[in-house]
Structure 1
Amino acid sequence: EQWLKVVIGACEQSGRNVLPKLNPPTLFSDWVTMSTNQLRLTLHPRAEQAFRHISMPPAGVRLLIGPEGGFTDQEIYQTEQNGFQTVQLGPRVLRTETAAVASIAALQAIHGDL
């Protein structure tokens, strides 16, 4: 209920009239293997490719942002085996909550919608 209140408040503040789907928590291994037509991206500070070099597909993006301390090598390997590409925001490593907001803002600014 609390997360739904947060989503509703954010939509009201930003003028969105459609609520995004709020999914229940999912295990990492299950989430990375889910079927999707979206471009699969993993935010990684040592990635060679930046958001500005990504072509936005019509289906959108499935963006994975790691926990404080980053992903383990095994987790990165698992994402790559499931079609995820690593991308970076820039030379700085951001906190998880900051990285999420910055990533969405960057994607919207680069590819429209902002």
Structure 2
Amino acid sequence: MALHFLVESSTDTRVGDLVSLTGAEAKHAAVVRRLRVGEAVTVGDGAGVWLEGTAEEVSPTRVDVRVSERTEQAALRPRVVLVQALAKGDRDELAVQAACELGVDEIVPWQAARSVSRWEGPKAVKGRERWATIVREAAKQAHRAWLPEVAAPVTTKQLARRAASDRVLLLDPTAPAKLSEIVPDGRDLVLVVGPEGGISDEELRLLTDAGAERVLLGDTVLRTSTAGPAAIAVLSVALGRW
């Protein structure tokens, strides 16, 4: 399979044009991926434009690709959103990486009551940037035409307001209904994953009162790093994506 890279924008690029990778992307292509002149590559802008071409010049500072084919992929609807509670260590980052590879459309950091990790002030900006970097690299690895958005961190009250327009699904090991039994109704599907300590009773009450649904993923209790990606796989089947 051809190597895949991202550029900031390719809206006006046509067949026959040259697309140039610069900066960190060029260095990654030439030094890390060891791209060579004449190799087939794909290039995307993360917003649906998909270009196929051949590398004509390769250096650590600039990689030129001659475009041989251009397609545009529409964004999938309804969208699958992962609300991932902040977790200790790198467990939330592992969830973000896998969720992107599996096709999530948006990722929302959640400052849950039982989150050990706290994003406050400059740390919130740095954390969101870190997640965005993970998403970008995972999207390239997975050859995704659309780059998932990493939203600003939300509180539980802010998350509850989302239930007014979206279908919010709370992963809860005590829920009476199975996630696999959910029938999509056209609304965006928002999966909410708690931290290692789980979603608190107060959070469950607040979110369910706002219209969120408690759903069971399986008979076992998964870690916060695996619950979201597993649920995305289930919904991908229900939506006909897989």
| TM-score normalised by L of structure 2 | 0.45
* Structure 1 counterpart of 2:227, one-letter code: A
Amino acid in structure 1 at the alignment position of 2:186: P
Which structure carries more helix by proportion? 1
Cα distance in 2, alignment partners of residues 85 and 39 from structure 1? 8
Q: Which residue of 1 aligns with 2:176?
A: 48
% same residue: 32
The Cα of 1:109 is off from its aligned counterpart by: 2.3
Q: Which structure 2 residue ranges, 5 or more long, are not aligned?
A: 1-128
What letter corresponds to residue 97 of structure 1 in structure 2? S
Is the Cα contact below 8 Å between 2:178 and 2:217 reproduced in 1?
A: yes
What does 1:22-101 correspond to in 2, within 5 Å? Answer: 22-34=150-162, 36-101=164-229
1:5 maps to 133
Q: Runs of at least 4 residues of structure 1 off by over 4 A?
A: none
Q: Gaps spanning 5+ residues in structure 1: where? A: none
For 2:207 and 2:157, how far apart are their aligned partners in 1? Answer: 9
CA RMSD in angstroms, aligned pairs only:
1.5
Residue deviations 1:16-68 (CA, integer Å, cap 9, x gap): 11112211111122122236532111000011111121111223201111111
Partners in 2 of 1:57 and 1:44 — Cα distance? 21
**Counterpart of 2:230 in structure 1: which amino acid?**
A
Question: 1:66, 1:41 → 2: CA distance?
Answer: 12
Higher relative contact order (CA 8 A, sep 6+): 1
Aligned length: 114
Q: Which letter maps to 2:238? A: I
Please name the residue that 1:112 is paired with: 240
Q: Which structure would you say has the larger Rg?
A: 2
Q: Which amino acid in 2 is paired with 1:109? A: V
